Amino acid sequence: MRITCLNENTPFSSDFSCEHGLSLYIETENSNILFDMGQTPLFSENAKKLGVDLTKVDFAVLSHGHYDHGGGLETFLEINTHAPVYLSEYAFEEHYNGERYIGLDSSLAQSPRLRFVKDSINLSDNISLFHNNDKPLVRDIDSGGLSAVIDGRKSDETFRHELYMLVKEQGKSILISGCSHKGIINIESWFEPDVLVGGFHLSKYPLDDTLADIAKTLSQHKTSFITCHCTGTQQYEFMKKYIPSLDYISCGRVIEL
């Protein structure tokens, strides 16, 4: 598998512009996948620089309904005229950070290209998407001041709109998670993959015993972790003291797994 980072908060080199958000181009043995689209068309500009032809994407996955992962959805639908886009049935709920709307463009909700996922779905023999909304929590979820409008009421986020993509290839299981809002320790315990790639949603955590405990807990697992985006660069450096193999994929970087 090859993962090319089309957008992330930090650039791998000065050749790439970047923004807060995430977009990954994933090449498996049989599929070309776009996982998230950042918040603007920037992911498509970086794709050109990296020699990635977005018209050859077989399908796209939107990990959750926040602007910094799905803001580029309209751009992708214009560039690629055939690939379905898989996303949670809850993705177009209204999402807020305080009073600021951070959800998707509701005008796109009726696109015939969208495939809404209710629980879990197999996209191929070796690629699956999961909600895991009914899984027990090892640790409680922290809404972090985020909220959603559900049944007409604004309430703390449960992140029921978050999806995870699991790929099994060449004897390895690789989990892709956009932001891990449901808790990186919960997600790790649910899947126990060989490799976990994604944001850990830790950028607001102080560099203290709580973050150290998270890192120590993750270090006890066999999984190799490649993080990015909402983990935070300072938090990443701090966690590396406890997980020396922890890696970081920034905008423009290509990783072979």
What is the per-residue pLDDT across 57-79, written as a single tens digit (0 to 9) for each? 999 999 999 999 999 999 999 99
Question: How does residue 237 score in pLDDT terms, banded at 50, 70 and 90?
Answer: very high
pLDDT at 142: 87
Tell me which residue of 205, 189, 252 sits closest to 11, measured CA to CA: 252
What's the one-letter identity of residue 175?
L
Specify which residues 255 forms β-bridges with: 3
* Distance from the Cα of residue 190 to its chain's centroid: 16
- The mean pLDDT of 162-177, rounded to a whole number, is 98
> H or E segment at 168?
strand 164-169
Binned at pLDDT 50, 70 and 90, residue 222 comes out as very high
Kindly calculate the radius of gyration of the chain based on its CA atoms and give it in whole angstroms.
17
* Fold observed for domain 2-256: Metallo-beta-lactamase; Chain A (3.60.15)
- The domain spans of the chain are 2-256
Judge contact between 232 and 203, C-beta under 8 A.
Answer: yes
